[in-house]
Amino acid sequence: MGETLAGWSVCIHNNGGDAPAPKIPGFPPTSSSASMTTEKIDGVSVTTQANVYFDGKCVSHGITFADGTKKSVGVVLPATLTFNTGAPEIMECVAGSCEYKLAGTDAWVKSSAGDKFSVPGNSKFEIRVTEAYHYICHFG
Protein backbone atom coordinates (compact mmCIF):
# COMPACT_ATOMS: atom_id res chain seq x y z
CA MET A 1 0.00 0.00 0.00
CA GLY A 2 1.09 3.60 -0.43
CA GLU A 3 2.19 6.18 2.08
CA THR A 4 0.97 9.67 2.89
CA LEU A 5 4.24 11.49 3.27
CA ALA A 6 3.86 13.02 6.75
CA GLY A 7 1.85 15.91 5.38
CA TRP A 8 3.87 15.89 2.14
CA SER A 9 2.43 13.64 -0.48
CA VAL A 10 2.91 13.48 -4.20
CA CYS A 11 0.35 14.31 -6.84
CA ILE A 12 -0.17 13.74 -10.50
CA HIS A 13 -2.76 14.51 -13.22
CA ASN A 14 -2.44 14.97 -16.95
CA ASN A 15 -2.77 18.68 -17.72
CA GLY A 16 -4.28 17.74 -21.06
CA GLY A 17 -2.21 18.99 -24.00
CA ASP A 18 -4.00 22.22 -24.97
CA ALA A 19 -5.31 23.04 -21.49
CA PRO A 20 -3.67 26.06 -19.84
CA ALA A 21 -1.03 25.31 -17.23
CA PRO A 22 -2.34 25.60 -13.67
CA LYS A 23 -1.66 28.81 -11.73
CA ILE A 24 0.73 28.03 -8.90
CA PRO A 25 1.18 30.60 -6.09
CA GLY A 26 4.78 31.76 -5.80
CA PHE A 27 5.69 30.89 -9.38
CA PRO A 28 5.48 32.91 -12.61
CA PRO A 29 2.73 31.92 -15.06
CA THR A 30 3.69 29.39 -17.69
CA SER A 31 2.66 29.07 -21.29
CA SER A 32 1.11 25.84 -22.53
CA SER A 33 3.15 26.17 -25.73
CA ALA A 34 6.57 25.86 -24.04
CA SER A 35 7.90 23.85 -21.14
CA MET A 36 9.33 25.71 -18.20
CA THR A 37 11.24 24.12 -15.38
CA THR A 38 11.68 25.87 -12.04
CA GLU A 39 15.41 26.00 -11.34
CA LYS A 40 15.46 28.10 -8.15
CA ILE A 41 13.01 29.07 -5.41
CA ASP A 42 13.79 32.27 -3.50
CA GLY A 43 12.48 33.52 -0.15
CA VAL A 44 11.56 30.21 1.49
CA SER A 45 12.23 28.42 4.76
CA VAL A 46 13.55 24.87 4.25
CA THR A 47 13.06 21.95 6.62
CA THR A 48 16.60 20.59 6.81
CA GLN A 49 15.75 17.06 7.93
CA ALA A 50 14.73 15.01 4.90
CA ASN A 51 11.53 13.00 4.67
CA VAL A 52 12.73 9.54 3.60
CA TYR A 53 10.21 6.97 2.33
CA PHE A 54 10.20 3.56 0.67
CA ASP A 55 13.65 2.61 2.00
CA GLY A 56 15.19 5.76 0.52
CA LYS A 57 13.54 5.55 -2.91
CA CYS A 58 11.74 8.87 -2.25
CA VAL A 59 13.45 11.72 -0.40
CA SER A 60 12.00 15.22 0.01
CA HIS A 61 12.35 18.45 1.98
CA GLY A 62 9.49 20.72 3.01
CA ILE A 63 9.61 24.38 2.05
CA THR A 64 7.43 27.21 3.37
CA PHE A 65 6.93 30.58 1.69
CA ALA A 66 6.57 33.85 3.65
CA ASP A 67 2.78 33.71 3.09
CA GLY A 68 2.61 30.23 4.68
CA THR A 69 2.26 28.31 1.39
CA LYS A 70 3.86 24.88 1.74
CA LYS A 71 5.48 22.76 -0.95
CA SER A 72 8.00 19.96 -1.01
CA VAL A 73 10.99 19.39 -3.26
CA GLY A 74 12.41 15.95 -3.73
CA VAL A 75 13.54 13.05 -5.83
CA VAL A 76 12.18 9.59 -6.55
CA LEU A 77 14.85 7.05 -7.45
CA PRO A 78 14.28 4.11 -9.83
CA ALA A 79 11.38 2.03 -8.49
CA THR A 80 7.65 1.42 -8.85
CA LEU A 81 5.83 2.89 -5.85
CA THR A 82 2.26 3.58 -4.71
CA PHE A 83 1.50 6.89 -2.99
CA ASN A 84 -1.61 7.96 -1.09
CA THR A 85 -2.56 11.64 -1.10
CA GLY A 86 -4.27 13.74 1.55
CA ALA A 87 -4.98 17.13 -0.06
CA PRO A 88 -5.16 17.82 -3.80
CA GLU A 89 -1.72 18.49 -5.24
CA ILE A 90 0.18 19.52 -8.37
CA MET A 91 3.45 17.82 -9.25
CA GLU A 92 6.02 19.77 -11.28
CA CYS A 93 8.80 17.69 -12.84
CA VAL A 94 12.06 19.64 -12.80
CA ALA A 95 14.38 16.90 -14.11
CA GLY A 96 14.22 13.27 -15.18
CA SER A 97 10.96 11.55 -15.99
CA CYS A 98 8.45 9.04 -14.72
CA GLU A 99 5.28 7.25 -15.70
CA TYR A 100 2.25 7.41 -13.45
CA LYS A 101 -1.12 5.72 -13.18
CA LEU A 102 -3.99 7.37 -11.31
CA ALA A 103 -6.35 5.38 -9.10
CA GLY A 104 -9.16 3.84 -11.13
CA THR A 105 -7.27 3.98 -14.44
CA ASP A 106 -5.24 1.42 -16.38
CA ALA A 107 -3.12 3.80 -18.47
CA TRP A 108 0.46 4.77 -17.60
CA VAL A 109 1.18 8.41 -18.58
CA LYS A 110 4.68 9.88 -19.05
CA SER A 111 5.77 13.03 -17.18
CA SER A 112 9.03 14.80 -18.10
CA ALA A 113 10.89 18.00 -17.16
CA GLY A 114 8.57 21.00 -17.48
CA ASP A 115 5.37 18.94 -17.12
CA LYS A 116 2.86 19.59 -14.35
CA PHE A 117 0.26 17.09 -13.21
CA SER A 118 -2.27 16.84 -10.39
CA VAL A 119 -4.13 14.22 -8.45
CA PRO A 120 -7.20 14.69 -6.27
CA GLY A 121 -6.98 14.55 -2.50
CA ASN A 122 -7.73 11.34 -0.63
CA SER A 123 -6.66 9.24 -3.58
CA LYS A 124 -3.65 7.21 -4.66
CA PHE A 125 -1.44 6.69 -7.68
CA GLU A 126 1.41 4.52 -8.84
CA ILE A 127 4.68 5.98 -10.10
CA ARG A 128 7.22 4.11 -12.19
CA VAL A 129 10.71 5.65 -12.36
CA THR A 130 13.70 4.42 -14.39
CA GLU A 131 15.88 7.53 -13.91
CA ALA A 132 15.98 9.97 -10.98
CA TYR A 133 12.72 11.99 -11.06
CA HIS A 134 13.17 15.45 -9.45
CA TYR A 135 9.99 17.26 -8.48
CA ILE A 136 8.27 20.12 -6.69
CA CYS A 137 4.96 19.18 -5.09
CA HIS A 138 2.49 22.08 -4.80
CA PHE A 139 -0.20 21.46 -2.18
CA GLY A 140 -3.84 22.43 -2.17
Output the pLDDT for position 116. 87
Q: Where are the domains of the chain?
A: 44-139
How many Å apart are CA 94 and CA 39, to the nearest integer?
7
How many Å apart are CA 87 and CA 9, to the nearest integer?
8
Q: Strands 124-129 and 44-46: what pairing?
A: unpaired
Q: 10-residue block means of pLDDT along the chain (140 residues)?
A: 38 36 42 61 95 97 95 97 93 96 95 92 96 94
Output the pLDDT for position 140. 81
How many Å apart are CA 52 and CA 74, to the nearest integer?
10
Say whether domain 44-139 belongs to CATH 2.60.120.10: yes
User: Which residues are 80's β-sheet partners?
Assistant: 128
**The overall pTM is greater than 0.75:** no
User: Which residues are 61's β-sheet partners?
Assistant: 73
Output the pLDDT for position 115. 96
